[in-house]
Amino acid sequence: MFGDIFADIFGGGGRPRRGSDLRYLLDLDLEEAVFGCDKTIEVPGIVACDGCKGSGSADGRSKTCPTCRGQGRVRMQNGIFSVQQACPQCRGSGRVVETPCAQCHGEGHVERTRRLEVRIPAGVDSGDRIRLSGQGEAGPAGLPAGDLYVEVRVREHAIFQRDGDDLHCEVPVRIAQAALGAEIAVPTLDGEVSLSVPPETQSGQAIRMRGRGVRSVRSGRAGDLICRIVVETPVQLTREQRELLEQLDASMCDDDAAQHSPRAHSFLDGVKSFWSRVTS
Ligand SMILES: [Zn+2]
Ligand SMILES: [Zn+2]
C-alpha cells in the first residue's frame, strides 16, 4: 500500500483562487532513493469532470439563479437584523446551470483515483518533495488545479543506515583479523569492495571509505561509507581451538601484559586504585 494522502489547509480566509495542494507520502527502499526510479502512484482526489469540463452544465448553458435573481447575495432575517450573505444555490455567482451534467450532478468535479507516473531523481532522502504541477485537487468552478507534492520516506535498510549522504554499516571481523590486519569484502550500493582493516584495529573503530556513500541529489557529490569494525568473540570452539586460545592468552598474561592489552591493563589498574580509595 502506498502512503496516505491529505489536503493541505489553505492559510487565512478568502476564496481560494485554485484547487488545494495535495501531499502524497511515498515509501522507497534505500536503493530506489539512491539510484532513482520511476514509480506509479495512485492518488485519490477531486478532479474536474470530463463530461462538462468542470462547468457542471450538461449543455454549457446557464441561467439566472432563481433564488437570488442573479444578485449573488440573499437577505436573511436574523432576529430584528437583516443580513446579506452569499446565495447558497449559486454560491454567489448569480447563475446556475440549466441542465446539470449527469456525470457530476452539476458539481463540475468528481472524486477519482488517478494513476500518476513519478520520476524519482537519484539521491533523494526522507523529507525531500517532488512537485507535480497542476496534479493537486481540481479548482472550484473552472479555476486551475493545485499542485501535488510527493514526499519521500526512505525505509530502513538491513545493512546500511543513512545519515545525509553518508552510509554507515557494521563490519564484523575475527580477532586475528583485527589484530593482524586483513582485507575484508564489504558490501556497498555498487557491489562488493575490499576494505583494508589495519593491524591492531579495535572493536568499534570506524573506517571511512570515501565516495562510497550516496551521490547527493543537490550537489552531485558522493558521501562516504563508514564501516564500524566489530570484533567478534569466537564461539563454539573445538577442543583444539580452546587449547590454542588458552596458550595464546597465557602468553599475553606475562610481564608484558600491559603491552598487548593496554586498555584491559589500564582498566584493571583503575579498578585497583578505585578499591584502594574505597577501602582506605
Ligand atoms: Zn460534469
Ligand atoms: Zn443565487
Lowest mean pLDDT among 3-12, 116-125, 153-162, 239-248: 3-12
What digits encode the pLDDT tens for the residues 50-60? 888 888 888 88
Predicted pLDDT of residue 2:
36
Residue with cell 579498578: 271
Predicted pLDDT of residue 5:
39
Whether residue 236 is found in the same domain as residue 181:
yes
Give the closest ligand to the alpha carbon of residue 70.
2
DSSP structural state of residue 2: -
Is 65 contained in some domain? Answer: no
Whether residue 172 is found in the same domain as residue 241:
yes
- Give the containing element (helix H, strand E) for 241: helix 239-252
Whether residue 115 is found in the same domain as residue 229:
no
Whether pLDDT at 206 is above 80: yes
Whether residue 224 is found in the same domain as residue 121:
no
Whether residue 112 is found in the same domain as residue 245:
no
Give the closest ligand to the alpha carbon of residue 95.
2
Half-sphere exposure of 101 (CA within 13 A, CB side): 19
Taking the centre of ligand 1 as the mean of its atom positions, its distance from the CA of residue 245, in whole angstroms, is: 83
Whether residue 123 is found in the same domain as residue 222:
no
Write b or e for each residue in 182-211: b if 16 or more Cβ atoms lie within 10 A of its Cβ, otherwise e.
bebebebbeeeeebebeeebeeeeebebee
Predicted pLDDT of residue 3:
36
Of residues 161 and 274, more confidence is placed in: 161
Taking the centre of ligand 2 as the mean of its atom positions, its distance from the CA of residue 88, in whole angstroms, is: 6
Is 87 contained in some domain? Answer: no
Whether residue 13 is found in the same domain as residue 150:
yes
Looking at mean pLDDT, say which of 42-46, 53-57, 97-101, 258-262 comes out highest. Answer: 97-101
Of residues 131 and 140, more confidence is placed in: 131
Taking the centre of ligand 2 as the mean of its atom positions, its distance from the CA of residue 36, in whole angstroms, is: 51
Mean pLDDT value of segment 105-114: 86
Instruction: Show the domain range for 199.
Output: 161-253
Give the closest ligand to the alpha carbon of residue 65.
2
ipTM above threshold 0.85: no
Angle at 41 between CA 40 and CA 43, to 5 degrees: 150
Taking the centre of ligand 1 as the mean of its atom positions, its distance from the CA of residue 100, in whole angstroms, is: 7
Give the closest ligand to the alpha carbon of residue 71.
2
Is 135 contained in some domain? Answer: yes
What digits encode the pLDDT tens for the residues 142-152? 678 889 999 99
Which amino acid belongs to residue 23?
A: R
Predicted pLDDT of residue 142:
65
What digits encode the pLDDT tens for the residues 1-12? 333 333 333 333
Percent share of the chain, pLDDT over 90? 49
Mean pLDDT value of segment 88-99: 86
Taking the centre of ligand 1 as the mean of its atom positions, its distance from the CA of residue 77, in whole angstroms, is: 34
Which CATH number fits the domain that encloses residue 22? 2.60.260.20
Taking the centre of ligand 1 as the mean of its atom positions, its distance from the CA of residue 48, in whole angstroms, is: 8
Quick one: pLDDT band at residue 126, thresholds 50, 70, 90?
very high
Q: Are 42 and 167 in contact (CB under 8 A)?
A: no
Quick one: pLDDT band at residue 140, thresholds 50, 70, 90?
low
Q: Which residues surround ligand 1, an ion (CB under 5 A)?
A: 49, 51-52, 101, 103-104
Tell me how many domains the chain contains.
2
Predicted pLDDT of residue 179:
96
Of residues 141 and 117, more confidence is placed in: 117
Cell numbers for 2: 502506498
Whether residue 126 is found in the same domain as residue 236:
no
Whether residue 191 is found in the same domain as residue 136:
no
Whether residue 118 is found in the same domain as residue 239:
no
Predicted pLDDT of residue 15:
54
Whether residue 135 is found in the same domain as residue 235:
no
Of residues 27 and 260, more confidence is placed in: 27
What average pLDDT is seen over the chain? 87
